[in-house]
Amino acid sequence: MRKKRTGISPVGIVLIVLLVVAIFGVGIAALSNQQAYVREARITPTPSITPRTVLITENPAFPTSTPTPLVLQMNSVGIEVKQLQMRLQELGYYSGEVDGQFGGGTRTAVEAFQRQHGITADGIAGESTLALLYNTAAQTFVPTATPSPTPEYSTLSSGAQGEAVKRLQTRLQELGYYTGKVDGDFGKGTKSAVTLFQKQHGLDADGIAGMKTLTMLYSDAAHAIVIIPTPEPIRVLSGSLPMLVNKEHPVDADFVPADLVDLNTYCDSSLVKIKYSGMQAVREATDALIKMLTAAKADGITNWQISAAYRSFADQQDILEENIKSYMEKNGLSRSKAESAARQTVADPGSSEHHTGLAFDMTVPGQTFKFTEQCKWLHEHCWEYGFIIRYTDDKKDITGFLGEEWHIRYVGTEHSMNMKESGLCLEEYLEYVQTE
Q: Give contact residues for Zn ion (rule: CB under 5 A).
A: 361, 407
CB of 407 to Zn ion, least distance (A): 4
For Zn ion, which residue has the nearest CB?
Answer: 407
**Annotated catalytic, 404?**
yes
Which of 404, 405, 428, 431 is the catalytic position? 404
CB of 192 to Zn ion, least distance (A): 24
C-alpha closest to that of 156 among 108, 193, 129:
193
| The residue type at 156 | L
- Give the nearer residue to Zn ion in terms of CB position, either 44 or 345: 345
CB of 291 to Zn ion, least distance (A): 20
CB of 359 to Zn ion, least distance (A): 5
Question: For residue 396, what are the contacts with CB-CB under 8 A and spacing of at least 6?
Answer: 402, 403
CB of 260 to Zn ion, least distance (A): 17
- Give the nearer residue to Zn ion in terms of CB position, either 355 or 407: 407
Q: Do the Cβ atoms of 291 and 268 come closer than 8 Å?
A: no
For residue 359, list its beta bridge partners.
Answer: 409
Task: Determine the distance from the C-alpha atom of residue 338 to the mean position of all C-alpha atoms in its chain, rounded to a whole number.
Answer: 18
CA quadruple 423, 426, 430, 432: dihedral, nearest 10: -20
- Give the nearer residue to Zn ion in terms of CB position, either 94 or 391: 391
CB of 156 to Zn ion, least distance (A): 31
Annotated catalytic residues are 404
